[in-house]
Amino acid sequence: IGAKTDRVQEAQRLTQSIESTQEKFHKRFESKAQVKVLLNISPLSDDPNRIAPWIVGERSFYSEILAKMNAMTTSAPGEDYYQASAEALLKLNPQVIILLQPKAMDKATWKRELAAWQKLPHIDAVKNKQIYTLTGDYVMLPGPRITKIMQGFSDILDQVHTHHDNQ
């Protein structure tokens, strides 16, 4: 893109910055225990009578980011994005659930979302209250702001590891 827009040096600096940020987080988490993360892109509370959220698969750029942070996306093999049944969610049994949204939820909506997940109490993330949200317009269309997603995941994983260390 840098060559097509006659901004080669800026593109190279941006690429170096992204790679540097990724390496920083890799070093930060490489000695931590691996965490199984479910990335959800549709609120479970949208349809309280049906548990079938859209989740991020292992072939997404999100999964690549998490892998560098010693976290793995729990999903069906070979999927990008797909709708998961309640049974599939139970089988995946993530330790952490992260809801990715373009804008923050108000308190009432967040409360409904947490209540919706309580319908699946056997999932480790639900049992251990490890449900988080990552919001911002960059979350769904990252582009050059992908480092913000990296930082958001890092902040969440820090909380997760602190929670596990305190148990």
Tens of pLDDT, residues 60-87:
899 999 999 999 998 877 788 888 888 9
- Other C-beta atoms closer than 10 Å to the C-beta of 46 total 14
* pTM of the model as a whole: 0.90
**Torsions phi, psi for 164 (to 5 deg):** -65, -35
Residues 6+ apart with CB under 8 A from 116: 43, 44, 45, 48, 51
Tens of pLDDT, residues 118-162:
999 999 999 999 999 999 999 988 788 899 999 999 999 999 998
Rounded mean pLDDT, 23-51: 85
- pLDDT exceeds cutoff 60 at 26: yes
Q: Rounded to the nearest 10 degrees, how much is the dihedral formed by the CA atoms of 167, 67, 131, 91?
A: -90
State whether residue 33 is helix, strand or coil. Answer: coil
Tens of pLDDT, residues 46-62:
665 667 888 998 888 99
State how far the Cα of 99 lies from the Cα of 132, in Å rounded to an integer.
6
Longest dimension (CA), the chain: 54
Residues 6+ apart with CB under 8 A from 83: 52, 53, 54, 55
Residues 6+ apart with CB under 8 A from 67: 73
Residue with tokens 């449900």: 131
State whether residue 124 is helix, strand or coil. Answer: helix
Measured between its terminal Cα atoms, the distance across the chain in Å is 47
pLDDT tier, 5 (very low <50, low <70, confident <90, very high otherwise): confident
